[in-house]
Amino acid sequence: MTSTTNSPENSRRTFAIISHPDAGKTTLTEKLLLTGGAIHLAGEVKARGAARRARSDWMKIEQQRGISVTSSVMTFEREGPDGETVTFNLLDTPGHEDFSEDTYRTLTAVDSAIMVIDAAKGIEPQTRKLFEVCRLRNVPIITFVNKVDREGRDPFETLDEVADMLALDVSPQTWPIGMGGEFEGVLDFATGHVARPEGGSKEFLGTFDEDPAIPERFAEQAELAQIGYPEFDAEAYRNGDLTPVYFGSALKNFGVIKLIEAIAEHAPPPRPQPAGEELIEPAHDEVTGFIFKVQANMDPNHRDRIAFMRQVSGTFKRGMKLTPSGLGKPIAIHSPILFFAQDREIADTAQAGDIIGIPNHGTLRVGDTLSEKDAIRFTGLPNFAPEILRRVQLRDPTKTKQLRKALDDLSEEGVIQVFYPELGAQHIVGVVGQLQLEVLVSRLSAEYKVEAGLEAAPFATARWVSGDEAALDEFERFNRANLARDRDGDLVFMAKSPWDVGYQEEKNPKLKFSATKER
């Protein structure tokens, strides 16, 4: 097959991997990059370099825990089903068990996801949570059941669990021939080929062993699996009603190529993005995009920030002027970090679906739209209601101003959300994962020289309140002790319990209590 050109709008597959820690995301990522020849680890290389230079406490947390608090973008290319070149943008999500908002936001910037499940363990709660975010955002999912080379649960059990817990149709595309000590390889239903660990088929499926001879009992099981579940249906998959399931082993490189082929063939290309009533298509003749992540202070000596823009439409050219919605005037993008290039240094263009890193000094905020004509505002990029709320306790009362600045900065960056209560002086911070709190305290100290502690707040969650003006006034009058303003001055109801939210919702039918806020 010779390589042909793909239309720019069709050539990208921008996706994330969601999984529980230890399911094998890192191993799978490595193997995916290897299959794509052109390995490009821009974000990671950058983060490592920065960690060497800047030993901030924040980076220390990462090092100590051996986790990556920050996400990165990895890009590789491969020939697609019709010989065209497909560019894959893999957005890494922090794999720690405390998922931060960062993870959720990364999911706003992808068009599809791979859910990795450990064959022995099944779906764990955090994976389910991420799955629900994907569903909320209409991000379709391909399932990879990993570690079939090890002793695992009955694969039928895993399939049924996915179907039940996630209320999805499951459609197995490959099947493990035995597991653990009996593992013989992976059968591809489409071709009947078997990838075997030995016998000359070191690589995965498709390339090798056409001998379908497998022990009787495994053959029967495989047949049952093939007829017992719905066939793959591209539309149902893209609607989020069905997930194709691939069994394999990231470590042994079984089933990985099949997985990447599935993404090339079935995963959606860059999708249109809502902007109010309008939908901006990738072919729209103007460069547009939105900021889904800001990574700041990679080097504390220079308050540098990289804003990550998901490109929605047009052909970006280096040096181009784009207007950020939060700024109102154009900025020239001279040194974009274009992750898709094979050579990370500088590339000159980017397409819809690509991620561009834009160095800036605080002008770009998460949720900003960037565009050439400044006429579009993307919608649907939510803030998530925090699940952990803490009061910030300043050790040195003369640092009030610095604290406010720091909290504003860090909330802008998306590390935390900040709420200023209508009554009382103590600021409240909200996060969706415990780890964010640790990051907050160490960054306050390292970068802002503010020593602060966190104490329990009498609230369990928060809801953005909006609606009828008179009803809102009345609500405010009666609930002042439970009200706060967020960084943008929007009204937030601080609830003592989920029950409290339900109670107020019932009592105030003209008001909307929202768990997400559009940025």
Question: CB 131 → ligand G4P: shortest distance, Å?
Answer: 15
Contact 173, 262 (CB under 8 A): yes
**Coil/strand/helix, residue 359:** strand
Judged by CB under 6 A, the stretch of 24-32, 52-60, 239-247, 384-392 that binds ligand G4P is 24-32
DSSP 414-438: TS-EEEEESSSS--EEEESSHHHHH
Q: 75-109 burial, b if ≥16 CB within 10 A, otherwise e? A: bbbbbbeeebebbbbbbbbbbbebbbbbbbbbbbb
Question: CB 513 → ligand G4P: shortest distance, Å?
Answer: 35
Q: Which of 13, 25, 266, 390 binds ligand G4P (CB under 6 A)?
A: 25
**Coil/strand/helix, residue 353:** coil
Q: Which of 46, 105, 147, 193 binds ligand G4P (CB under 6 A)?
A: 147
Q: Establish if 72 lies at the interface with ligand G4P (CB under 6 A).
A: no
Applying the rule CB under 6 A, the residues between 235 and 254 that interact with ligand G4P are 249-252
Q: Is 474 exposed, middle or buried (0-12, 13-18, 19+ CB in 10 A)?
A: middle
Judged by CB under 6 A, the stretch of 144-152, 156-164, 200-208, 443-451 that binds ligand G4P is 144-152
Question: CB 162 → ligand G4P: shortest distance, Å?
Answer: 17
Q: Establish if 514 lies at the interface with ligand G4P (CB under 6 A).
A: no
Per rule CB under 6 A, count of chain residues that contact ligand G4P: 17
Q: Establish if 27 lies at the interface with ligand G4P (CB under 6 A).
A: yes
Question: CB 262 → ligand G4P: shortest distance, Å?
Answer: 17
Q: Establish if 41 lies at the interface with ligand G4P (CB under 6 A).
A: no
Q: Establish if 92 lies at the interface with ligand G4P (CB under 6 A).
A: no
186 or 287, CB closer to ligand G4P?
Answer: 186
Contact 331, 287 (CB under 8 A): no
Q: Which of 8, 14, 16, 24 binds ligand G4P (CB under 6 A)?
A: 24
Judged by CB under 6 A, the stretch of 22-30, 392-400, 442-450, 508-516 that binds ligand G4P is 22-30
**Coil/strand/helix, residue 503:** helix
Nearest to 494 by CA among 413, 425, 422, 433: 422
Question: CB 95 → ligand G4P: shortest distance, Å?
Answer: 5
Q: If phi over 0 gives left and psi between -120 and 50 gives alpha, with beta otherwise, what is residue 497? A: beta
Contact 254, 174 (CB under 8 A): no
DSSP 8-state code for residue 117 = E
Question: CB 146 → ligand G4P: shortest distance, Å?
Answer: 5
- Residue 330: CB atoms within 10 A of its CB come to 16
146 or 313, CB closer to ligand G4P?
Answer: 146
Kindly list the residues in this chain that would bind ligand G4P in the complex (CB under 6 A).
19, 21-27, 95, 146-147, 149-150, 249-252
